[in-house]
Amino acid sequence: MERWMVGTTGFEPATSWSQTKCSTGLSYVPHLAQCPGCRGEQQTEFWGKPGHPTHPTAARASARPTGARPILASAPPVPDVLAMTRRCLLITAFAALCLAGCASTKYAVLEKFGIPKRELFKKYVVAARDEQKAAGQQFQDALARLKTVYGFSGGKLESAYDALKSDYDRSNARATTVKSRIRDVESVSSALFTEWEQEIQQITTATLAADSRSKLADTRARYESMHAALVRAEQGMDPVLAKLKDNVLYLKHNLNTQAIASLKGEATNIQGEIGRLIDEMNASIRKADEFIKTLQ
C-alpha cells in the first residue's frame, strides 16, 4: 500500500507556503536542511527513498513543466580553513618582521615556515643578477637617448628633454633596486655563514667537521669573488647617474640649440663611463651565474 504524505502533490494542490497567500499550512514540504533531526537513515524513513512518491524530489519533479531542465542543487564551497590560517600567520609574521627590522628574527620566522637560509641565499643572488641585467639595459637605453639629444637639430626640444628625463628616472630607480638586492644578499649570506660555523662546532666526528669546514671556506671564497663584482658594478652606477643628472638639469634650464651644442663635448665622456659600467655589470652577472650553478 502506497504511503501519501501530507504536503506532497496528490494530497492537495501544491500551493505557496506563505500564510499571506491563504495557504492551509499543509502545502509546505520542509527542506531537508531545515529538518535538523533528519540525518542519515532517519531521512530515508521520514521522506522515503529517492524516486518514491513521498520523496520531496518527486513533488518538485511533478511541478516542473515538461521538458524543463533539472534543477541541480549545489552546496556552497567550504573554505579551506587551514590555508586561510596559514596565510594569516604569514601576513602577521611578515608584518612583525617589518616592524622589528631584525634580520636574524626574520630568517628564524621564515625557517619556521619551511624557507631555509640557503634557499633565500640563492633567491637573493638570482634577484641581484636579474636586477643588474635590467639596470644595464636601462643605462644603455639612457645612453641611446642622450646620443639622440646630442644629435638634435630642431623640432620639439622639450619633448626630447622629457624623454631623457624619463630615462634618467628609470635608471635611478633601477640602480636603487640593484643596491637593495645586494644588501639582501649580504644580509642572508652573513646569517648563513654564521649558522654554518656554529653547526660545524656541534659535529663531534673530526673528519666530518674538517670536510664541512673545507666546504664552508670554498663557498665563502666563491661568494667573496662574486660579491666583489657586485660591489664594483654598484659603485660604477653612481658616477654614471651623476653625469646623466647633470645633463638632464642643464637641458632643463637651457632648452635651446646652443645648450645642445655645448653638451656634445660631454658625449664622449659619459659614453665611456656607461661603457665601463656595462662591462662591470656583465662581469658581475657572469660571476653570479657561476656562483648560482654551485648552489644547485
* Residue 39, domain member (yes or no): yes
First to last CA, the chain: 76
Number of domains in the chain: 3
**pLDDT value for 54:** 54
pLDDT of residue 100: 45
CA distance 265 to 204: 67
Contact 188, 124 (CB under 8 A): yes
Specify whether 98 is located in the same domain as 185: no
Same domain for 198 and 230, yes or no, is yes
The verdict on 241 and 182 lying in the same domain is: yes
Region of residue 10 (phi > 0: left; psi between -120 and 50: alpha; otherwise: beta): left
In a domain, 45, yes or no: yes
**1, part of any domain:** no
Q: What is the pTM of this model?
A: 0.61
Give the other-Cβ count within 10 Å of 156's Cβ: 10
Domain of residue 29, residue span: 19-63
Instruction: For residue 139, tell me if it sits in a domain.
Output: yes
Residue 11 lies in a domain: no
Residues 147 and 282 in one domain: yes
The answer on 267 and 175 residing in a single domain is yes
Q: Are residues 252 and 147 in the same domain?
A: yes
Tell me the pLDDT of the chain (296 aa) as tens digits: 555 555 555 555 555 555 554 545 445 455 544 454 554 444 444 455 555 555 555 555 555 555 555 544 455 555 566 666 666 666 655 555 554 456 666 766 666 767 777 888 889 999 999 999 999 999 989 888 887 777 765 556 778 788 889 999 999 999 999 999 999 999 999 999 999 999 999 999 999 999 999 999 999 999 999 999 999 999 999 999 998 898 888 888 877 666 666 676 666 678 888 888 999 999 999 999 999 988 86
- The answer to whether position 24 is within a domain reads yes
Integer Cα distance of 273 and 140 in angstroms: 11
Do 111 and 141 lie in one domain? The reply is no
